[in-house]
Structures are given as structure tokens and as C-alpha cells.
Amino acid sequence: MAEVLTEAIGHEALAGRLAHHADAGSLAHAILLTGAPGRGGLALALNLARRLHCQAAPGQAKPCGTCPSCQQHDQLQHPDLHFTFPVAKPAGKDKALSSDQLDVWRGLLREAGPHFDMQDLRERMALGNKQPFISVHEAADILRRLSLTAHAGGWKVQIIWGAHLMRVDTANKLLKLLEEPPKKTLFVLLADSTESLLATILSRTQIIPIPPIDSGRIAEQLAAEGSEPDTVQDAVALCEGDLAQARRLVRSDAAEEFEAAIAEYRRSLPQKA
């Protein structure tokens, strides 16, 4: 795995503040993390969910990593952690639901870590020209899930990634639940920006902007993943604090170098008469 699922690269202080509010019981019931996905909002959300579910975390510096809840989080299988993300309607079905692509989502998270973006997810879901969205059927599924008693008797955490791709009817269906969620229910919405979200959604959430990741931290991460120093330098200069974009730039540079090497090799072959 490229990184730990809950590693808030460059945003450890923000993760600490959220953990403090969780321990103090002062956490807002609905949080909106804004900024490019590659800045690490999902890592912060997963970190917070793990802390709420960890059986030993209150008063500790971080989740224990060994209790049954932490082990379930390691596998992205905790029964009270729910994911919603944009999908396209599959052929032969009349509903677009995240649950149909949950294995794909978990696979991407395990392999790439939480600093990925919509382009990465689109490629993994092989959407082609289809446009992903969060449907009103998804909202109904969220309402159903969160009406149930928590399996472990503690917190239910609903992460909505790509919330700016919610349709208007989807957002409207969630308004009452966002305003008056069941006890011990946390919503974490992640959106590129607030511009595409309804004002009624914004007014029901605590908005926390995620700043760009420091260039030094991105360079360290890329180097740890085996990227060449020159490639790292170029990627850091162009990525605007976005680790997903930095990785894409590294892959692009590597592909260009590979193509150049193949072309050079072909030029070196004896020419046919």
C-alpha cells in the first residue's frame, strides 16, 4: 500500500484538532471538508472514524491499532463505517448506487491510500464517457442505513466523498437527516469546493477547508514511493499541494521516459536493406 489509510500527510495538526473535539464531545454532527481530494480530506475522515470506533482511543494519542474495531478499519470492513461516492448507472440497472462499486472503492483505497481523486476513481470503475453522480436512490440508501442501530453500539459514520456531485434531489432528501441525525451519527462530506453545493447543505455543516500539502511532505512521500529525484522535483513544482496530481505527474513523466527509451532502442536497431 502506498500509504497508511489514515495518514493525514501534512495535516497532522488538523487531524489532532478533530481528534480533540471527538474526545471532548464537541464534534459537529456534520463536517464538510473542502479542497482537492489529493490534499487528504479522506485520510482525515478515516482517521476520525477510526478514533470514534477504537475501543481504546479516548485519552490516547491515537487509535490503538489492535482492538477489533481498528482491525476492521484496516480491512475497510467496519460495520458502522459507510461510504458514499459518485458512480454511474450500470448497464441493465435502474439505480446508481455506491454499493455496486464498493469493492472497487475499497480496492483503490487499499492500493493507493486515501489521496486519490475522481480521475483515479473513474479509471478504476472504467466509466468511459459516463458521468458519475450521487443519486437520489443513494440518499434513500443512506437514510435506511443510518436508521438502523449501530452494530457495535457506538458511533455510525457516514462519509460522502465527492459531495459536490450530489444532484439537487439527492441533497434535498438528506437535509432533514443532516439537520437532525440520529444520536451518535457523524456525517463527513468531502467536496472539491462549496460552489456546487446547496446553501441549505452548507448551513447544516461545519466547513473545514483543507489547505495544500506542503511541498516538502509531498517530496518525501514521492521519494518513499521510489520516484526519481528529478521527477519528484518537477512533480512537486506543478502539483499545487495535491498528492494525487503529483503521483499522476510522476507516472506521466515515467511513461514519457519509457517511450523515449523505446524509440532510442528502435533507432539503434540495424536498418533493413
What are 24-73's pLDDT values in tens digits?
A: 889 999 999 999 999 999 999 999 999 999 988 566 768 888 999 999 99
Look over the chain and give the mean of its residue pLDDT values, rounded to a whole number: 90
What are 68-123's pLDDT values in tens digits?
A: 999 999 999 999 999 999 999 888 788 999 999 999 999 999 999 999 999 999 99
Does the pLDDT of residue 204 top 80, yes or no? yes
Does the pLDDT of residue 152 top 80, yes or no? no
Does the pLDDT of residue 257 top 60, yes or no? no
Whole-Å CA distances, 187 to 46, 146, 202, 219, 239: 12, 10, 13, 32, 29
Give residue 197's pLDDT. 96
Closest CA to 171 of 197, 192, 132, 152: 197
Give residue 272's pLDDT. 62
d(CA 152, CA 175): 26
Q: How confident is the model at residue 1 (pLDDT cuts 50, 70, 90)?
A: very low
| Residue 65 near residue 235, CB atoms below 8 Å | no
Q: How many CB atoms lie within 10 A of CB 167?
A: 15
| Residue 217 near residue 189, CB atoms below 8 Å | no
pTM tops 0.85: yes
| Residue 33 near residue 188, CB atoms below 8 Å | yes
Q: How confident is the model at residue 2 (pLDDT cuts 50, 70, 90)?
A: very low
